[in-house]
Amino acid sequence: MNFGILSVKAQKVVTVIDVTKYGAIGNGKALDTKAIQKAIDVAAKLGNGTKVLLPTNHQYLISTLVLKSNIEFYLEGNAQLLVSTKKEDYSVEGSIIANDVKNLKISGTGSINGRALEFMTHYDTIKEIWIPKDWRPKLFILTKCNYLEIKDITIEKAPSWSLHMLGCENVLIDGVKIKNNLDVPNCDGIDPDHCRNVEIRNCEISCGDDAIVVKATQQEIDYGPSANIWVHDCKLETQDSGLKIGTETTQDIYNVVFERCEIKTSCRGLTIQLRDEGDVYNIVFRDINFTSRYHSNPWWGRGEAISLTAIPRNPETKIGKIHTILIENVTGIAENSIRINGTKESRISDIRLYNVNVTLNRWTKYPGNVFDNRPTKAYEGIETHDTPGIFIRHSDRVVLENCSIAWGNTIPDYFTNAIQANNVTGLELINFKGESANPAKYKAIDISKL
């Protein structure tokens, strides 16, 4: 699929603005925000791709920097932005922001250090999670940017979301590395939110929360749907979902392709969580390997291999539909089911799994025998349920072709059928391979009209 995201531009001579010439000290102690902002403002007046240079071998203490149109923000060598831990230093809730700009490039081999643990109160050894203080910034909040490119930089130790793009169009994220703490909550990797024409490629992400997640959050301004998004050739590690859509789905999300990705570990491998009024459709997951496992109780997800759920957020929620989803050439090992779970309020339809091969096993210490429906107040958040290889409920026209379920060496009593389907129409099995986890107790395929 070709979204035609960015065209190659001819080489040109660009003006370079060195932030140290505008008073940036770069010793990691003196606040350099004003000096760097002055350099950004001068570059923006010149435009034409003027490069704001943050020289190597310096650590620049910053609070909120506001990037502008027609510039390149360049972190040279090992240059590092070190975020301030003082709320009073910030003008907004983010460290690097941009609003309604065009032709912005953020690049270089340097990094931004979010100092995550300094925004935490303590580590809860029982829940296995860091507990945040009352305030912590996002690192990047890029809003209504058109022709945005982010290349090669490293983001590390984010205290909250790492790279949030809201209402952006024509975006290329290439070769970005995100190295967050695996036990810090809400430190998402990359969040395209109400964005269109986005390509995310060659990224390596390690984070506690969702690695790459497409959203349509509730906003006072109409930023439009999320559409035409291509994620490929990325390596991911997370305690939440590897590749995900939702849960915020207040507008439509469509024409999204995830392909050629490796998910080293996750709590759900591939995920669509519809909880709001938007529709999610024309989604492809292709050529992906994953591992999905249970984590401690605060973390969302219960080791589901693949999870497509359409569950109202609240009893009064008007919920959209999930339909027209293709999952092909996917292999994984997981502690919980492939789950296609609609509800009476929102049936899931037109789902095709082709050459999907999953092995279910148990290897972590955490309790099993559950599905995770969160976030919802309309249904039980954590639902006690046995673990079939594939679970389908309130769904129509589901095709499983050349798919298989296998069982590992550790098979608890609650591992059951290869396929379990309830209240499903149009289920089609073509060359499916899979036996019951315990043939003496359970059918290989159990289909109920209930």
On the CB side of 365, how many CA atoms lie within 13 Å of its CA? Answer: 3
pLDDT in tens, 4-25: 445 455 567 889 999 999 999 9
**Within 13 A of 228's CA, how many CA atoms are on the CB side?**
16
Q: Note the pLDDT tens digit of each residue in 324-374.
A: 999 999 999 999 999 999 999 999 999 999 999 999 999 999 999 999 999
The whole-number pLDDT of residue 404 equals 98
CA distances from 339 to 30, 352, 405, 445, 450 (A): 52, 13, 13, 15, 17
- pLDDT score for 13: 85
Choose among 93, 94, 58: nearest CA to 74: 58
Query: Does 375 sit behind a cis peptide bond, omega within 30 degrees of 0 on the bond before it?
Result: yes
CB crowding 416-439: b at 16 or more within 10 Å, else e: bbbbbbebbeebeeeebebbbbee
pLDDT surpassing 90 at residue 109: yes
Task: Please determine, for residue 161, whether its predicted confidence score (pLDDT) is greater than 70.
Answer: yes
Q: Which of 21, 33, 22, 14 is nearest to 71 (CA)?
A: 14
Q: Contacts from 6-9 at CB under 8 Å and sequence distance 24+?
A: 6/147, 6/149, 6/170, 6/172, 6/199
Asked whether residue 275 carries a pLDDT value surpassing 70, the answer given is yes
**Residue 323 and residue 310: Cα distance in Å, rounded?**
10
What percent of the chain lies above the pLDDT cut of 90? 96
Backbone angles phi, psi at 418, to 5 degrees: -70, -45
Q: Are 153 and 109 in contact (CB under 8 A)?
A: yes
CA atoms within 13 A on the CB side of 292: 33
Task: Band the pLDDT of 448: cuts 50, 70, 90.
Answer: confident
Contacts of 341 (CB under 8 A, 6+ apart): 307, 308, 309, 310, 311, 348, 371, 391, 392, 393, 394, 395
Q: So what's the pLDDT on residue 7?
A: 47
- What's the half-sphere exposure (Cβ side, CA atoms, 13 Å) at 169? 7
Query: What is d(CA 139, CA 159) in angstroms, rounded to the nearest whole number?
Result: 8
Q: Report the pLDDT value the prediction gives residue 12, as an integer from 0 to 100.
A: 73
Please state, rounded to an integer, the average pLDDT across all residues of the chain.
96
- Dist CA 290 CA 241 (whole Å): 10
Taking the C-alpha atoms of residue 241 and residue 334, their distance in angstroms, rounded to an integer, is 13
* DSSP, residue by residue, 88-149: GG-SSSEEEEEES-EEEEEEES-EEE--GGGGEEEEETTTTEEEE-S---EEEEEES-EEEE
Q: What is the pLDDT of residue 449?
A: 65
Which tokens go with 336? 């919980």
What is the per-residue pLDDT for 1?
A: 46
Least Cα distance to 404 among 365, 428, 430, 384 occurs for 430
Structure tokens at 241: 């979902």
What would the pLDDT profile of 415-436 be if each residue is shown by its tens digit? Answer: 999 999 999 999 999 999 999 9
User: Does the CA dihedral 118-124-127-132 come out positive or negative?
Assistant: negative
Between CA 121 and CA 50 the distance in angstroms is 41
Question: Which H helix or E strand runs over 291?
Answer: strand 280-292
